[in-house]
Structure 1
Amino acid sequence: MTALADRPHIMDAEHFEEAARILARLEEGARLELIDGKVRSKPMPDADHALIIEWLTRICIQSRPELWLYQDVGIKAQSYRRGRARPDGTLVRSGAIGGQGDWVNPDPVLMVVEVTSHDSDTHQRDRVEKPRAYAETGIPIYLLIDRDNCQVSVYTEPDGASYENVKTVPYGKKIHLPDPVGITLDTEPLKDWVN
């Protein structure tokens, strides 16, 4: 079943949600997304990926205790073919996504986070398709933690087609997540999780 999910297929949101539920029951850990009308599988995170999300969660809790960084929450994304994305992290006010089922409304989302994986699809998925999908959805901030290039990029000012502002720093530098998040990240610890 995973081989099917690795090839892009055109599908509508309703059929995608049904297929994703079935696959999740059949294959533990299966994570599917629907971006640009194409079904894609998302690789399972490795330990360093998990540590990066843990690091970011701690920073968010310490800086903004009213917010929570949820992991692997499905988001209704894009207007074209009603996409479905599953970011590595979704920052919202604590509890704001309750009662919405498998795929939440993006309105309360302040920031989405992707941490690159070591697979052949990373460039297309995390650096091309995801920024466009999140900008089309109007999510204020897209944070890309790029383990391949050892850098962090903050995408802001979505205009409905793309993010108008992108700031990138190498690991070890500080980078500010502007409002509505308002947190500054010291990226020095990321050097330990490059792998």
Structure 2
Amino acid sequence: MSAVAHEQPITNSPSQADILLESFLSLHSPEGFRAELIEGEIIVAPPPDGDHEDYIDLLIDQVKAKSKVHMQVSGSKGLRLVSGGLCPKNHVIPDATFAPRSLRLFRGAPSWMEPDGIAMVAEITSTKPDLDRIAKRHCYARAGIPLYLLVDREKSQISLFGKPHRDEYTEVHLAAFGEPLALPAPFELELDTKDFL
């Protein structure tokens, strides 16, 4: 008598990356807190302090008033970005996301949208400055976002990163607080940072 081989059912069990992403997407952060998924780590940040909000306001006011191309801006738009390795896609919420108003990218967009058409993202350093200086910079470059503006409060300087290639920007322009910083097309404006002092 021959033994009959029984096939084991094939199960598609979720990967660790799938479980992490599902956990992140079902997370309920306390009111005012911001949750992001960056390179396989869930980051929950407290509400920003008043200085952080003042810097964002100064930046947005100038871009809206001086930009050659009329810009749409969001301070809460979730971006779904490619990630490195086996991590799920990064889910990042920049302090400010700029896109030409003519594209109307935010209208009808889901909570987490792809970054296609985004002209620039901006971050103001806060409780975890190296997250903005390093991890988010790599995320934005890898996603091909043309410009990343970092207002570094601890260093009293602004960095404008441009020309993304792989997971890094190949061009950087620095200005100490108080010095002007030129933003290229589509903005074509000089950012006045005197009020950042």
Q: 2:144 aligns with which of 115, 128, 138?
A: 138
- What secondary structure does 1:98 align onto? coil
2:21 match: 13
- Native 8 Å contact 1:92 1:111 kept in 2: yes
**Greater fraction helix:** 1
- State the one-letter code of the partner of 2:115: P
Larger Rg: 2
Structure 1 position 102, deviation (Å): 1.2
RMSD (Å) for aligned C-alpha atoms? 1.8
* Separation of aligned partners in 1, 2:73 and 2:191: 15
Contact 2:32-2:46 within 8 A present in 1 as well: no
Contact 1:72 1:88 (C-alpha < 8 Å) held by counterparts = yes
- 1:53 CA displacement: 1.1
- Give 1:109 deviation, angstroms: 0.8
State the alpha-carbon separation in 2 of the partners of residues 13 and 178 from structure 1. 36
Corresponding residue pairs, total: 175
Q: TM-score, normalised by structure 1?
A: 0.83
Q: Displacement, 1:188? A: 0.8
Structure 2: which 5+ runs fail to align?
1-15
Please report how far the alpha carbon of residue 13 of structure 1 lies from its aligned counterpart in structure 2 after TM superposition: 3.2
Q: Is the 8 A contact 1:57 1:68 kept in 2?
A: no
Off by >6 Å, runs of 4+ in structure 1: none
- State the match for 1:63 in structure 2: 66
Aligned mates of 1:73, 1:66 — CA distance in 2:
18
Aligned residue identity for 2:156: C
Q: Which runs of 5+ in 1 are unaligned?
A: 1-8
2:98 matched residue in structure 1: 91
TM-score where L is the length of structure 2: 0.82
SS of residue paired to 2:181: strand
